[in-house]
Chains A and B, each alone.
Chain A
Amino acid sequence: MYLYDPIDQRIVDERVAQFRDQTRRYLAGKLPEADFLPLRLQNGLYLQRHAPMLRVAIPYGVLSAQQLRMLAHIARRYDRGYGHFSTRQNMQFNWPKLEEVPDILADLASVQMHAIQTSGNCIRNITSDHFGGVARDEIVDSFTWCEILRQWSTFHPEFAYLPRKFKIAVNGAQADRAATFLHDIGLHARCDAAGQVGFRVIVGGGMGRTPIIGHVIREFLPWPHLLTYVEAILRVYNRFGRRDNKYKARIKILVKARGPELFRDEVEAEWAQIRDGASTLTDAEVRRVAGRFTRPEYQPLEDLRLPQDGPFGAWQKRNVFAHRQPGYAAVTLSLKKTGVPPGDVTEAQMDAIAALAERYNFGELRVTHEQNLVFADVRQDRLEALWQQLRQLGLATPNIGLLTNIIACPGGDFCSLANAKSIPVAEAIQRLFDDLDYLHDIGELDLNISGCINSCGHHHVGHIGVLGVDKQGEEWYQITIGGNQGMSPLGTPAAVGRVIGPSFAQHEVPWVVERLIEVYLRHRESDAERFVDCAHRLGIEPFKQNVYGHPDSPRKDRESVAA
């Protein structure tokens, strides 16, 4: 992880003091709610259904064991003993008291953490591919670039009151593991013919009410221009993005209204005025930032042949990822055990995971946007020992990439914006697909659930997506298929799922998922063809047929029911 220098620390400390004062004025009645609202949101604080919710930033998902222990402490001291990892690589606490939030921020600052810009209409936490620094297909270490962008975006004075929230993702490897086509700005590292590092710049992707796949506005941006170019995009957006309707205020709507070419021309014209200015990155700065990251001290080791059979083999095949350093592996800790809300961890688990990170992983870990954790640098000869320990903690479910590795937002159990619950739906599906052999036979499948159209559960890019909708005050669920976050270098590109037809009641959803899988298993060309690839090849019709035309279908008469 990046280690703060005294200036980084001072900025975070000054933020704590500033927010303490804002909270004091609010509680004293000197700061009206309407004026406090954007201020507290820019510090990750929501006031909602049961209690406030505080979202803590985990920049690009990287955490030290010490920081995780602090999160455990906060869960114990200020909350109800657990926290929730979100799809934005953040941690959310659902029960803190408003008057204690300044103390929580002070505790966080003591371990180089904060809640800056985790909500509100500003540049949010930068997200990244979670195998940065270890993947065999790596082009650059994405974390260095994320940190450079984190510093640039932190308290950027011009962009604190944008039309709407703004999310940037950086991907440093060949395969896109950061969903760069689904962010306001996606930056995908590449090298030009001369070996110079740069980025493909993608804008205007996103989920929510209007899901859109982003547009490439520049195939290659040499790295020194990263900040000036991003600044040009933000300036065009800040000046011309719509502010009259919050549903039309994201940059994707501006890009769509202008057309990607015209938008690109505006950005390039703005950039022409500021390129080569003082914000042009220097080699010295990139080296300085890279040099402040702690690096594992690898031993010279050989790759081992790992067992393929038995429970350890099953886990090893699903949850262990190849490492570019011989003799090491990256391990995903599954937070998707059946019966546990996706992404939830207890304080005891956090402490235990911190201890394991120190023992097996150089004292670090990562949070993924699929709400799991990664130990990126585990010695292969210690995998089995680690697996044994993870099993005891309930963190070794061998389901990474499989149907039960469900992404789900907090939904109606916690979130005041929800149309429907998402956690019980996730659990019911996990229970139905409890049989591991069957699950492995189905192969790679992303199933994502959002409790409303805000799409925090990324349902649009689920191979199967489930969306909570409100029908005359009742909770219903709309099903999509064919969405894809664009993870794999081969096969289907990033895509938004298509709705199969009228919605379902909560208890019917697992049945529908089963029918969809049935079609896939019947029609797939081979084990190598994933559900999503098959859905793209066949189109939605056969899937629809097997759901709405099925003898047991609860929604037979699909013509007479409004979607």
Chain B
Amino acid sequence: MATLIRRGKIASPSQPEAGAVLRLEPQDDPAGIAARLEGAARVEVNFPNFTDGRGFSNARLLRERYGYRGELRAVGDVQRDQILFLQRCGFDAFVLRDDQDAGESLAALADFSEAYQASVERPQPLFRRR
């Protein structure tokens, strides 16, 4: 059973939600759903394969350009070794691939304690905080 991590904790599967669930495939332009973001229950960004990095850019665009504040969930080939970067790009929820260990994956969010770049998680780059 796939684990859901939400805001840094293992969460129980979602109850039926009010509002639409929007979904982005790697090739989709986030601009296409920008008008519907308000009132959406969540946005799911699909990773058919974890090595397809388009979802990382799309997440940043949703957060930084289109001002999306709601739940942004990574689904598909989501593994422990990518979720920290996903979180830095603005994801706050992950449905882990079936074989992933939930505890180990949570620990992965603490693999690095600092980062150089500006990100959704930390809008100021290190050089402005150093």
A154-190 CB contacts (< 8 Å) to partner B = 154-163
Contact A239 B57 (CB under 8 A): yes
Contact A22 B53 (CB under 8 A): no
Contact B65 A157 (CB under 8 A): no
| Known contacts A238-B57, A278-B124, A278-B128; A10 and B50 CB within 8 A of each other | no
User: What is the 8 Å Cβ interface bit string for chain B, positions 88-130, against chain A (1 contact, 0 not)?
Assistant: 1100000000000100000000011111111100011111101
A287-323 CB contacts (< 8 Å) to partner B = 288
Which listed residue (B26, B89, B113, B114) contacts A158, Cβ 8 A? B89
Q: Is A121's CB within 8 Å of the partner chain B?
A: yes
Residues of B within 8 Å of A30, CB to CB, are: 101
| Known contacts A14-B111, A278-B124; A39 and B56 CB within 8 A of each other | no
Residues of B within 8 Å of A235, CB to CB, are: 57
A509 CB, min distance to chain B CBs, angstroms: 39
Contact size range, A:
35 or more
Q: Is A247's CB within 8 Å of the partner chain B?
A: no
Complex CA–CA separation, A2 to B43 (angstroms): 43
A57 CB, min distance to chain B CBs, angstroms: 15
Contact B127 A282 (CB under 8 A): yes
| Known contacts A7-B126, A157-B88, A278-B125; A162 and B112 CB within 8 A of each other | no
Residues of B within 8 Å of A39, CB to CB, are: 81
Residues of A within 8 Å of B125, CB to CB, are: 152, 227, 278-279
Contact A279 B112 (CB under 8 A): no
Q: Is the interface of B mostly helix, strand, loop or mixed?
A: loop
Contact B81 A22 (CB under 8 A): yes
Which listed residue (A18, A156, A157, A282) contacts B128, Cβ 8 A? A282
Contact A157 B51 (CB under 8 A): no
| Known contacts A39-B81, A160-B85, A278-B128; A155 and B115 CB within 8 A of each other | yes
Complex CA–CA separation, A523 to B46 (angstroms): 62
Complex CA–CA separation, A68 to B18 (angstroms): 61
A260-298 CB contacts (< 8 Å) to partner B = 273, 277-279, 281-282, 285, 288
A20-48 CB contacts (< 8 Å) to partner B = 22, 30, 35, 38-39
Which A residue sits closest to B60, measured CB to CB?
A158
B111 CB, min distance to chain A CBs, angstroms: 5
Q: Which interface residue of B88, B116, B130 has the most chain A CB atoms within 10 A?
A: B116
Contact A11 B112 (CB under 8 A): yes
Q: Is A243's CB within 8 Å of the partner chain B?
A: yes
Contact A157 B117 (CB under 8 A): yes
Contact A238 B116 (CB under 8 A): no
Residues of A within 8 Å of B60, CB to CB, are: 158
A292 CB, min distance to chain B CBs, angstroms: 11
Q: Is B54's CB within 8 Å of the partner chain A?
A: yes
Contact size range, B:
35 or more
Complex CA–CA separation, A285 to B128 (angstroms): 8
Residues of B within 8 Å of A243, CB to CB, are: 26, 52, 54
User: What is the 8 Å Cβ interface bit string for chain B, positions 57-88, against chain A (1 contact, 0 not)?
Assistant: 11010000100000000000001011011101
Residues of A within 8 Å of B116, CB to CB, are: 11, 151-152, 154-156
Contact B114 A279 (CB under 8 A): no
Which listed residue (B54, B84, B101, B119) contacts A239, Cβ 8 A? B54
Residues of A within 8 Å of B84, CB to CB, are: 157
A121-174 CB contacts (< 8 Å) to partner B = 121, 151-152, 154-163
Contact B127 A161 (CB under 8 A): no
User: What is the 8 Å Cβ interface bit string for chain A, positions 86-123, against chain B (1 contact, 0 not)?
Assistant: 00000000000000000000000000000000000100
Contact B79 A35 (CB under 8 A): yes
Residues of A within 8 Å of B130, CB to CB, are: 5, 7, 285, 288
Residues of A within 8 Å of B79, CB to CB, are: 35
Contact A38 B51 (CB under 8 A): yes
Which listed residue (A35, A157, A162) contacts B50, Cβ 8 A? A35
| Known contacts A7-B126, A278-B125, A288-B130; A152 and B51 CB within 8 A of each other | no
Which listed residue (B51, B58, B126) contacts A121, Cβ 8 A? B51
| Known contacts A157-B85, A277-B118, A282-B128; A14 and B50 CB within 8 A of each other | no
A165 CB, min distance to chain B CBs, angstroms: 13
| Known contacts A238-B57, A278-B118, A282-B128; A161 and B113 CB within 8 A of each other | no
A228 CB, min distance to chain B CBs, angstroms: 10
Which A residue sits closest to B54, measured CB to CB?
A239
Contact B65 A273 (CB under 8 A): yes
Complex CA–CA separation, A195 to B54 (angstroms): 39
Contact A162 B111 (CB under 8 A): no
Which listed residue (A156, A161, A239) contacts B117, Cβ 8 A? A156
Complex CA–CA separation, A8 to B77 (angstroms): 31
Contact A157 B127 (CB under 8 A): no
Contact B51 A279 (CB under 8 A): no
Complex CA–CA separation, A151 to B85 (angstroms): 16
Contact A279 B52 (CB under 8 A): no
Complex CA–CA separation, A154 to B81 (angstroms): 16
Complex CA–CA separation, A156 to B118 (angstroms): 9
Complex CA–CA separation, A35 to B81 (angstroms): 9
Complex CA–CA separation, A288 to B130 (angstroms): 10
* Chain B residues within CB distance 8 Å of chain A: 26, 50-54, 56-58, 60, 65, 79, 81-82, 84-86, 88-89, 101, 111-119, 123-128, 130
> Known contacts A152-B117, A160-B56, A243-B52; can you find 7 more A-B pairs with CB under 8 A?
A10-B114, A11-B115, A121-B51, A160-B85, A161-B52, A162-B53, A279-B117
* Chain A residues within CB distance 8 Å of chain B: 5, 7, 10-11, 14-15, 17-18, 22, 30, 35, 38-39, 121, 151-152, 154-163, 227, 235, 238-239, 243, 273, 277-279, 281-282, 285, 288
List 24 A–B pairs whose Cβ atoms lie within 8 Å, in order of A's numbering.
A7-B130, A10-B114, A14-B113, A18-B111, A18-B112, A35-B81, A121-B51, A152-B117, A155-B112, A155-B115, A156-B117, A157-B84, A157-B85, A157-B119, A158-B56, A160-B82, A161-B56, A235-B57, A238-B53, A238-B54, A243-B26, A243-B54, A278-B123, A279-B118
